[in-house]
Amino acid sequence: MEVKPGYKRTEVGVIPEEWEVVATADLVEPTAPICYGVVQVGQDTNGGVPIVAIKYVKEIASSPLHRTSATLEQPYARSRVRGGDVLISIKGTIGRVGIVPEGFEGNISRELARLRLKPNYSAEYVAQQLEADLTQGRIARSVVGTTRLEFSIATLRKFELAVPTSRDEQRSIATALSDMAGLLGGLNRLIAKKRDLKQAARQQLLTGQTRLPGFHGEWAVKLLRDCARFCSGTYLAQAAYRDGEFEVQGAGGPMGKHVAANFPEPISVIGRVGTVGRPRFIPNGCWVNNNAAAVAAIPGIASPRFIHLLLMTMDWGRATSVTAQPFLVVESLMKMEFALPPVPEQNAIAEALAEMDAELAALEQWREKTHNLKQAVMQELLTGKTRLIGSQEAAA
């Protein structure tokens, strides 16, 4: 395939003409060659030297790092790290990348390798390039081993990366990708916070600790059998499935589609053999097979969505018996006790929690789109297919 003007074909793909392909050994300071860390860490409870492991390579400053005695660490002085060093995991979980924060003093475990870059290379850019999907794929193809995978130091030293010759362009690319990563991180934190708030709200609303505006009065304590019906599913051979509008629900989840529903009303489907519990709310009918069951609210006493919320809070171990495989003990399930408000309050609680679910779903969808956009932008920027404004002038 012909390469468009201003670009060249290299061992790592098509890149701008003014970019270079550099082996990692040529990226690092000659006085600090690529090396792995401490082989035998030991244990030191009185301070000692902090050792960065794979688990904490991205959160070095805020993580509870293991420490080892200065005596055990001293033979590995060659692998000590300082602010700005790039770390990459080379054993076990291959390809995790981090940058040592300024002010950190310590060492690394044998599962990590250190890259101390020359001044003309940006640590942030190199870290982004190492984490890119294309690079990670090339790393995966270079891994050896069966029981324990390894990206050897010798292979790492020869491993090539595409790098803009201008450090300003390197920094611009790294900054753009870091900004997108920051947006993703913010979304992740917001989603985690919303989940915690939803969990707390669910606990308080379903137990009456918090009441929605306009609702008062006592709740009634009832057995599940007093407010819901238990209905066994019906066997349907897979050969009898027909591609229709109704899902066929088994113990663990959907199994296919069918033209008929044996439960046309809103129900909660639960597993009764093999996989017990795992309630799924089906508002518009489905076919429940013989390894599952339906729990249907009794009209006038309970709301279908409220019953489903109660089932979601259950300890299913209390209604499960295990012989050859787990199975549901129906009598134990139907004797479970719940506090039940009047139906209007049930509906209001279900609606409030559904709104929180919808907000979470929208945020998760936004995060997924942002993640996909970041991956696409990484692909464009780290191969030079898209150049940031001023990049060409900086490289000239």
HSE-CB at 25 with a 13 A cutoff on CA atoms is 8
Contact 160, 12 (CB under 8 A): yes
* Average pLDDT across the chain, whole number: 92
Categorize the per-residue pLDDT at 69 as very low, low, confident or very high, splitting at 50, 70 and 90.
confident
What is the Cα gyration radius of the chain?
A: 29
Instruction: Please state the domain extents for the chain.
Output: 7-164, 166-195+344-396, 220-340
Residues 6+ apart with CB under 8 A from 289: 233, 234, 235, 236, 248, 249, 250, 255
Percent of the chain with pLDDT over 70: 96
Residue 336 has pLDDT above 80, yes or no: yes
Residue 151 has pLDDT above 50, yes or no: yes
Contact 63, 56 (CB under 8 A): yes
In the numeric block, the tokens 């779903």 are attached to 361
Task: Report pLDDT for 27.
Answer: 97
Categorize the per-residue pLDDT at 396 as very low, low, confident or very high, splitting at 50, 70 and 90.
very low
Helices (H), 46-122: 70-73
Could you tell me the pTM of the whole model? 0.78
Task: Report pLDDT for 394.
Answer: 44
Task: Report pLDDT for 19.
Answer: 96
The mean pLDDT of 144-149, rounded to a whole number, is: 80
Task: Report pLDDT for 254.
Answer: 94
HSE-CB at 257 with a 13 A cutoff on CA atoms is 6
Same fold, 7-164 and 220-340: yes
In the numeric block, the tokens 């009209």 are attached to 299
The CATH fold assigned to 220-340 is Adenine-n6-DNA-methyltransferase TaqI; Chain A, domain 2 (3.90.220)
Residue 256 has pLDDT above 60, yes or no: yes
**Cβ atoms within 10 Å of 26's Cβ, excluding its own:** 16
Joined together, the tokens standing for residue 310 give 């109660």
CATH for 7-164?
3.90.220.20
The mean pLDDT of 133-150, rounded to a whole number, is: 88
Helix (H/G/I), strand (E/B), else coil: 333: helix
Residue with the bigger pLDDT between 67 and 367: it is: 367
The mean pLDDT of 120-139, rounded to a whole number, is: 95
pLDDT tens for residues 31-61? 999 998 998 766 655 678 999 999 999 999 8
Categorize the per-residue pLDDT at 1 as very low, low, confident or very high, splitting at 50, 70 and 90.
low
Residues 6+ apart with CB under 8 A from 225: 334, 335
pLDDT tens for residues 340-395? 999 999 999 999 999 999 999 999 999 999 999 999 999 999 999 999 866 554 44
What span, in angstroms and rounded, lies between the C-alpha atoms of 54 and 89? 6
